Structure 1
Amino acid sequence: MNYFQFKLDNKLSRRSTESSQMLQKFPSRIPIVLEKAWNSRLSQLPKSKFMCPGEYTEQQFVTCVRKKLALGSETALFVFVNGVDLIAGNSLMSDVYNKEKDDDGFLYMVYCEQDVLGGN
């Protein structure tokens, strides 16, 4: 799937070089491109590229994203790998990366919300 804006804005060779450089500089971290889902009402994060510690679980990564978005407890945040797959909260990000990374070396994810507990 090629609906990630980062892919549209950057050629494969540039993306591959960038992820390789990031991995070389920070070998224990995961290069992630995280973009807002097209139908999400959440705010856009100021940047789309992240370096996540490989030992983080998916839930720890989501917690970091929640903080960056300043979400209250009434809003559930969902993160989908490659825009379609939910992953278990206890999955290690390094395992997700090794299984789901793109040919360019990045792990692509999208985020969206779901109101809970009577929210709108």
Structure 2
Amino acid sequence: MDKQNFEFKRNLTFDERKKQSKSMRRLYSDKTPIIIEKYRSEKQLPIIDRNRYLVPQHLPCHKLVEIVRRRLTLHPSQALFLLAGGNSLVSNSTSVGEVAEQFRDPDGFLYIVYASQETFG
């Protein structure tokens, strides 16, 4: 599905990931389990301190960007872009639930990468 080789996927089997996401969704049916990692060729931004998030489905993506910016302790002038599905820029006006509907992995997680510039392909 995506071109990003997620560390989370390398460290856990498909069945382990599916079990985790299913358990999270059973306990919190109104939330989306998300894995956020740095884009593989990103050089300017730091590695995020945690990669698993449980986010309300109705949360607008611009709020998710704010959460990631805070976790990375970025200066307001630093650019930050979120991409889902390998190379699709996440629109700030859509909800996390809408992005998950379109890009959720078969294991149940929504995988998102962050980068300091728009990265396509």
Query: TM-score with structure 2 length normalisation?
Result: 0.89
- For residue 115 of structure 2, the aligned residue among 105, 112, 117 is 112
Matched, 1:23 2:34: no
**Percent identity, aligned pairs only?**
28
More strand by share: 1
2:83–2:113 contact (8 Å) kept in structure 1: yes
Q: Which amino acid aligns with 1:105?
A: G
Matched, 1:85 2:88: yes
Displacement of 1:87: 2.2
Displacement of 1:39: 2.0
- Structure 2: runs of 5+ lacking an equivalent: none
Cα distance in 2 for partners of 1:3, 1:67 equals 24
Over the aligned positions, Cα root-mean-square deviation in angstroms equals 1.2
SS of equivalent to 1:76:
coil
- Structure 1: runs of 5+ lacking an equivalent: 115-120
Cα distance in 2 for partners of 1:100, 1:90 equals 16
Name the counterpart of 2:6.
Answer: 4
SS of equivalent to 1:55:
coil
How many residue pairs get aligned? The number is 114
Cα distance in 2 for partners of 1:45, 1:25 equals 25
Q: Which amino acid aligns with 2:106?
A: D
Name the counterpart of 2:100.
Answer: 97
2:25–2:33 contact (8 Å) kept in structure 1: yes
Q: Structure 1 runs of 4+ off > 4 angstroms?
A: none
SS of equivalent to 1:96:
helix
Larger radius of gyration: 1
Query: TM-score with structure 1 length normalisation?
Result: 0.89
